[in-house]
Amino acid sequence: MIIAVVDYGLGNLYSLSNSFAQCGKEVIVTNDLQQLSESDALVLPGVGAFSDGMSRLQSLGIDKVLSSHALKDKLILGICLGMQLLLESSEEFGQHEGLGLIKGHVKYFQRINGFEKDTRVPHIGWNEIEITRETPLSADVNHRDMYFAHSLCAVTTNIDDTLAISSYGNIKFASVIGQGSVLGCQFHPEKSSVNGIMIIQNFINMVR
């Protein structure tokens, strides 16, 4: 069983790899297209701007590998920016196309109806997730706190693709999303202590 962490220049690669190691699973960290293609599952981390992330994936040819994985129903886990890149588009610093592996769009908190305008953005710190659709990824993590750091949130086209929600600024936003074998967490499991390790372990169990 090979799990590869995608190295495209944006992401907490060391801490993420260490989280898998704590679960007894060594991962490979690579941007080699053959290694990524041959992996049983991919983890797409990410911090930074959406447009930068997409341009890096495209320049390396990794966008095509991710699409191929999804077509083959191989597991993909996007984290933070990596999760947002799985969607169709983002309005961060203009309109930008995403990977389109999950139907939906990435929007600024301030542009979501009902968001309290005096709420601090970015949303940084610990927040509870509430499971809205049970999946193996969410086993035993309902109502647990995870660590977030983001200014935009995912709005899925199909409500069933929102697997967990969290509350911020008087709205509820998608904190876990998924469509088929493609999954995403808006929070950072590698920074979420024991609760985040549970997410990592659940993902490993899914790959098995």
Q: Which is the catalytic residue, given 69, 123, 150, 188?
A: 188
**91 belongs to the catalytic site:** no
Q: How far apart are CA 133 and CA 178, in angstroms?
A: 10
User: Active site includes 80?
Assistant: yes
Query: How many helical (H) and strand (E) elements, i.e. helices and strands, does the chain have?
Result: 6, 14
Tell the residue number behind the tokens 């967990």, with chain if given. Answer: 164
Helix (H) or strand (E) holding 63, with range, is helix 62-71
Q: Which helix (H) or strand (E) holds 205?
A: helix 193-207
Has 123 been annotated as catalytic? no
Q: Among residues 80, 92, 153, 185, which one is catalytic?
A: 80
193, burial (CB in 10 Å: exposed 0-12, middle 13-18, buried 19+):
middle
Q: What are 90's two structure tokens?
A: 């983002």
At 208 the three-state DSSP class reads coil
Cβ–Cβ under 8 Å, residues 170 and 110: no
Dihedrals φ, ψ of 55, to 5°? -65, -35
Q: Which of 92, 96, 153, 190 is catalytic?
A: 190
Catalytic residues: 80, 188, 190
